[in-house]
């Protein structure tokens, strides 16, 4: 057994060894030239650098410094490398290790690990925490300011007190909605992999949504129309989550579609949806508002993204509604489509499966 192992260690050639590993690997000899690369390293760095001096081949100062250190001190050294593909940057953690065979120092083995996904996830987490803190700080600052005024200047003025208490109530409500939406988002993300299997009558879901939003529609002077054929059949879904999708879409159409307009909710059956590859129901929520400029459309489902943040906040929006819609649609393996014509209005379409 031990005889065999020694055999492998002595007879295995470097090229076979490097190519058996998926991480990009580069071997630099004591000549300071790049003497070996595996296929993954050729993909990353190109094969032109094979045979060149490592300074010319690798070029990034931090990495060169690390290699020089291994050549002179023969100690493992950590570094990193930034690669580019188009306008996207990829970050690699790099380990430079001394290559020795039976005590002889032969050079440096440089191995690259792609940590871009981790970097992106970390950046997203930092952005998210910053956004949440910012969203909570605004109402909190307002509340602290009003408390101070009520304790001081406005202490004995009943009228001002009532007005301020009204504003404080609105701000507290906004914080409450924000926390509610965050919890809802994290719940939806949590069960995104569990496919919903209940058969749901989407017309009854929409009737209930329109009933709930009746006061908002009346307040906006808007008419909401529900249009559908008979016998369209059920969709596979989670009733509460479908209710959540259409509550946000119809609420948006009412809030951003302008006063005294018509919002139309239309349900159509698609015999065979090409992208879902099964019979589906398409629910279109259309308003007659100002529309959304094309550059905003792909970003609408990002958390906290608002086209006109002042207007959205004014209307009590948290900017999380469409992010939640996107996750729910994805859990349902459906599709969300947004079309908008400036000056004419916007249509948000959700396609839901009737078959698994
Ligand atoms: N029908 C629409 N017409 C015009 N703009 C819209 C429409 N629907 C959404 N938007 C824009 O997209 C942004 C994001 O919508 P989203 O539903 O995610 O957040 P919100 O409505 O601001 O807050 P929330 O839904 O959490 O109360 C809105 O702030 C608004 O600027
Ligand atoms: Mg909304």
pLDDT at 313: 76
Boundary residue ending a domain (155, 171, 191): 191
Indicate if 339 and 260 belong to the same structural domain.
yes
Q: Which two tokens stand for residue 327?
A: 């996750």
Indicate if 154 and 254 belong to the same structural domain.
no
What is the bridge-based pairing of β-strands 88-101 and 223-228?
unpaired
Ligand nearest to the Cα of 251, by number: 2
Q: Is 75 helix (H, G, I), strand (E, B) or coil?
A: coil
Indicate if 200 and 269 belong to the same structural domain.
yes
Ligand nearest to the Cα of 306, by number: 1
Indicate if 337 and 216 belong to the same structural domain.
yes
Ligand nearest to the Cα of 292, by number: 1
- Looking at the DSSP bridge assignments, the partners of residue 353 are 280
- The pLDDT of 37-61, averaged and rounded, is 93
- The answer to whether 220 and 254 have CB atoms below 8 angstroms apart is yes
Indicate if 128 and 94 belong to the same structural domain.
no
320 alpha carbon to ligand 2 midpoint, in Å?
7
* Whether pLDDT at 99 is above 80: yes
Indicate if 200 and 153 belong to the same structural domain.
no
Distances 74 to 24, 63, 97, 177 between C-alpha atoms, Å: 21, 15, 8, 59
Indicate if 347 and 228 belong to the same structural domain.
yes
Q: What CATH number is attached to the domain comprising 186? A: 1.10.287.130
Indicate if 40 and 92 belong to the same structural domain.
yes
* Whether pLDDT at 6 is above 70: no
Boundary residue ending a domain (171, 191, 211): 191
pLDDT at 42: 94
Which residues contact ligand 1 via a Cβ below 6 A? 181, 248, 252-253, 256-257, 287, 289, 292, 300, 305-308, 312, 317-322, 346
Phi-psi region of 343 (alpha: psi -120 to 50; beta: other; left: phi over 0): left
**Mutation test of ligand 1: which of 309, 317, 344 has the most ligand atoms closer than 8 Å to its C-beta?**
317
The per-residue pLDDT for range 151-165, each reduced to its tens digit, is 988 888 889 899 999
Indicate if 202 and 348 belong to the same structural domain.
yes
| Global model pTM greater than 0.85 | no
Sign of CA dihedral 210, 214, 218, 220: negative
Element (H, E) at 341: strand 335-341
Measured from the CA of 287, which atom of ligand 1 is nearest? 1
| Domain assignment of residue 97, given as a range | 3-114
Indicate if 38 and 139 belong to the same structural domain.
no
Indicate if 290 and 323 belong to the same structural domain.
yes
Boundary residue ending a domain (191, 206, 234): 191
Number of domains into which the chain is organized? 3
pLDDT at 9: 62
Q: What CATH number is attached to the domain comprising 320? A: 3.30.565.10
In angstroms, the CA 66 to CA 83 distance is: 17
339 alpha carbon to ligand 1 midpoint, in Å?
14
**Mutation test of ligand 1: which of 319, 320, 323, 349 has the most ligand atoms closer than 8 Å to its C-beta?**
319
User: Confidence band (pLDDT; 50, 70, 90) for 13?
Assistant: confident
Angle at Cα 243 formed by Cα 180 and Cα 231, nearest 5°? 175
- The answer to whether 139 and 171 have CB atoms below 8 angstroms apart is yes
146 alpha carbon to ligand 1 midpoint, in Å?
28
């Amino acid at each position: 057994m031990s005889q065999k192992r020694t055999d492998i260690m002595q007879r295995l050639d470097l090229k076979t060894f490097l190519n058996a590993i998926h991480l990009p690997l580069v071997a630099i000899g004591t000549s300071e030239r790049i003497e070996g690369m595996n296929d993954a390293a050729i993909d990353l760095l190109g094969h032109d650098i094979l045979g060149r001096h490592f300074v010319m081949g690798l070029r990034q100062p931090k990495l060169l410094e690390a290699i020089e250190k291994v050549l002179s001190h023969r100690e493992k050294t950590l570094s990193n490398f930034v690669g580019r593909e188009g306008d996207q940057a990829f970050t690699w953690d790099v380990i430079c290790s001394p290559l020795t065979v039976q005590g002889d120092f032969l050079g440096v083995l440089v191995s690259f690990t792609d940590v871009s996904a981790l970097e992106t996830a970390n950046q997203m987490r930092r952005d998210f925490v910053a956004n949440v803190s910012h969203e909570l700080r605004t109402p909190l600052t307002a509340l602290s300011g009003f408390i101070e005024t009520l304790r001081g200047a406005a202490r004995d003025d009943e009228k001002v007190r009532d007005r301020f208490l009204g504003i404080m109530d609105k701000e507290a409500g906004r914080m409450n909605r924000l926390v509610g939406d965050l919890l809802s988002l994290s719940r939806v993300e949590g069960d995104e992999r569990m496919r919903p299997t209940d058969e749901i009558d989407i017309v009854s879901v929409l009737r209930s949504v329109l009933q709930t939003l009746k006061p908002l529609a009346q307040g906006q002077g808007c008419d909401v129309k529900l249009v559908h054929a008979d016998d369209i059949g059920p969709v596979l879904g989670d009733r509460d989550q479908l209710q959540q999708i259409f509550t946000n879409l119809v609420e948006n159409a009412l809030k951003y579609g302008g006063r005294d307009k018509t919002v139309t909710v239309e349900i159509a059956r698609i015999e065979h949806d090409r992208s879902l590859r099964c019979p589906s129901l398409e629910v279109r929520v259309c308003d007659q508002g100002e529309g959304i400029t094309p550059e905003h459309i792909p970003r609408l489902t990002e958390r906290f993204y608002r086209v006109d943040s002042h207007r959205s906040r004014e209307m009590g929006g948290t900017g999380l509604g469409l992010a939640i819609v996107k996750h729910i649609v994805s859990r349902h393996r459906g599709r969300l489509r947004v079309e908008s014509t400036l000056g004419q209005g916007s249509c948000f379409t959700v396609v839901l499966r009737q078959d698994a």
